[in-house]
Amino acid sequence: MLDEVRATSSTLTKISALGRYLASLADDDLRRACTFLRGAPFPPGDPRRLGVGWVAIGEVLRELTRAPDDEFHATYRRHGDLGDTAAALLAQYPPAPALFQAPLTLETVARGFEAIAGAQGAASRRVKAAALRSLFHDATPREGAYLVKIITSDMRVGLREGLLLPAIASASGRDAAEVRHAALLIADPGEIAVRARHGALHETAIEPGRPFRFMLASPVDAPRDAFADSVPALWVEDKYDGVRVQVHRTAQRVAILSRTLDDVTAVFPELVAPLEAAGHSFVFDGEIVAWKGTRPLPFFLLQQRLQRRDPAGLMDEIPVVLLCFDVLHLDGRDLLGAPLSARRAVLDALLPRGPVRLSTGSLARTPEELDARFHAARDAGHEGIVMKRPDSPYQPGRRGRLWTKWKPGVGTLDVVVVAAEYGHGKRAGILSDYTFAVRDGARLATIGKAYSGLTDEEIAGLSAWFHAHTRRDLGPLRLVEPVRVLEVAFDAITKSQRHDSGYALRFPRIVRIRDDKSADEIDTLDRVRALHAALVRRAAGTADGWPPP
């Protein structure tokens, strides 16, 4: 079925094929199919992890197919993708028939994943390998390819929510906009599909324990722009440089979910006890920041904690705090529609403690007050400020003007890498020079090339990824899947015919890899145009002293 989806380039044909397939499934299978179609073994927010990597998959495939080592490597090099490698090997060297062979079903795959995730202790490697072996053994070659993609969470058949949600609408005969709206409140597409089928979409609200989409802020280029909609006052908070999280507390457990809706609770054990002690059932929105004494620590330290396998390992060296800035649900009360000022009052009364704190905020009535707030935030070690309308509801998944953000300098852009080139000198043989693009509607428009700013380790990681996700190998240059998002800083934006956006960044440098963002969330050509216009105004001395020194 997925091959049918992959084979057609027509979005409508893809959606109707998927819709027919989803409509044919019973509820349990419908949930499973939606989860797997997202390219993940478990629904968003599920804390379970498979804990098997490419090495383990490769071992099982070699063992099952008995493909000679050099053949395995040659096949991998030919396809550049472990999923397609699996399909090719399973086709060429079918595993020996077993006593209990049965075609794969959604249920057996789900049970296999549960067994893999549940394997613990000394025997866990063996148990995981046995479960993997049994899945691949029963899989057809194409199923094998999709298994690999799901296990490595690497589904790129164009099956992002852009296809899945309309397919759910088509399967259930509901309005696509209604399905999309519900999916902002409950991020699990399986749950949405079942609700759509049973006519229960209108009852969808955020619930403690179920991940939803974050509300986001739009960038402004000058403080007065934040007042553009003639708001009398803005609620101003420090813009923290950490990881955005939603915190769900139910009677059963505390869950901390990242912006990509991964469960990161285990990384921050010191936050769990105070959240448990807070009582109530609630949903908070906030930011986790590395913190020592009265000041934030740089983001890369926090990143070290996220990358560690033993979460408690760096707890003392790199302490963190959770800065809560919103509450969206409290003891059965849905607060999404309440104005920010009222939600903040509720949050204040909950009196978080220890490393769980309230964000620092105050009202500002003029651009000058914003300017002062901005400098105070910078002096205190923060990135900038976030400005929120006191009367605003919380709109999951929206990036509108109810929240705006202001960062220093000319600013940064979030871009996606579309091509990678080999470097020189100590970076010879490593894909270390990246051409990147902004979004222009459905198209990606290149705007610059950068090769500085990342650590050797980060570059090695990106290089390996680009090798495995090359769309076209042009010798020194590889066109790569537009998936990896970078945040780039620059000194100026100029008009230029060198890139197909019509603009170029001067002295671009990579600030960081933004794996928390998808290519759908990168900056747009419209924003580049606006930044360029603002810079021209500034050069002409008409920009009211922007940007700050």
Catalytic residues: 239
Using CB under 6 A as the criterion, which residues of the chain lie in contact with ligand AMP when the complex forms? 216-217, 237, 239-240, 244, 287, 325, 359, 386, 405
Query: Are 221 and 531 a contacting pair, CB within 8 Å?
Result: yes
Query: What is the smallest separation between the CB atom of 326 and ligand AMP, expressed in angstroms?
Result: 8
- Closer to ligand AMP at the Cβ: 239 or 305? 239
- Closer to ligand AMP at the Cβ: 87 or 220? 220
Query: What is the smallest separation between the CB atom of 401 and ligand AMP, expressed in angstroms?
Result: 14
- Closer to ligand AMP at the Cβ: 76 or 325? 325
Which contacts of 364-371 are long-range, i.e. CB under 8 A and separated by 24 or more positions? Answer: 364/233, 364/234, 364/236, 365/232, 365/233, 365/234, 366/227, 367/222, 367/223, 367/224, 367/226, 367/227, 367/544, 370/223, 370/226, 370/234, 370/236, 370/406, 371/223, 371/548
- Closer to ligand AMP at the Cβ: 25 or 216? 216
In angstroms, the CA 50 to CA 113 distance is 7
- Closer to ligand AMP at the Cβ: 285 or 481? 285
- Closer to ligand AMP at the Cβ: 163 or 216? 216
Query: What is the smallest separation between the CB atom of 346 and ligand AMP, expressed in angstroms?
Result: 16
- Closer to ligand AMP at the Cβ: 58 or 361? 361
In angstroms, the CA 267 to CA 263 distance is 9
Neighbours of 428 (CB within 10 A): 9
Query: What is the smallest separation between the CB atom of 100 and ligand AMP, expressed in angstroms?
Result: 49
- Closer to ligand AMP at the Cβ: 36 or 240? 240
Query: Are 501 and 446 a contacting pair, CB within 8 Å?
Result: yes
Query: What is the smallest separation between the CB atom of 240 and ligand AMP, expressed in angstroms?
Result: 4
**Per-residue tokens: 398:** 């929206």
In angstroms, the CA 506 to CA 218 distance is 23
Residue nearest to ligand AMP (CB): 244
Query: What is the smallest separation between the CB atom of 5 and ligand AMP, expressed in angstroms?
Result: 31
The residue among 310, 325, 189 whose CA lies nearest residue 247 is 325
Burial 80-116 (b: 16+ CB within 10 A, else e): bbbbbbbbbbbeebebeeeeeeeebebeebbebbebb
Strand-pairing partners, residue 330, are 282, 333
Query: Are 349 and 324 a contacting pair, CB within 8 Å?
Result: no
Query: Are 434 and 450 a contacting pair, CB within 8 Å?
Result: yes
Strand-pairing partners, residue 414, are 487
Helices 54-65, 124-138: inter-axial angle, 10-degree rounding: 60
Neighbours of 368 (CB within 10 A): 11
Query: What is the smallest separation between the CB atom of 460 and ligand AMP, expressed in angstroms?
Result: 25
The residue among 335, 330, 306, 333 whose CA lies nearest residue 318 is 306
Q: How far apart are the first and last CA of the chain?
A: 57
Query: What is the smallest separation between the CB atom of 203 and ligand AMP, expressed in angstroms?
Result: 28
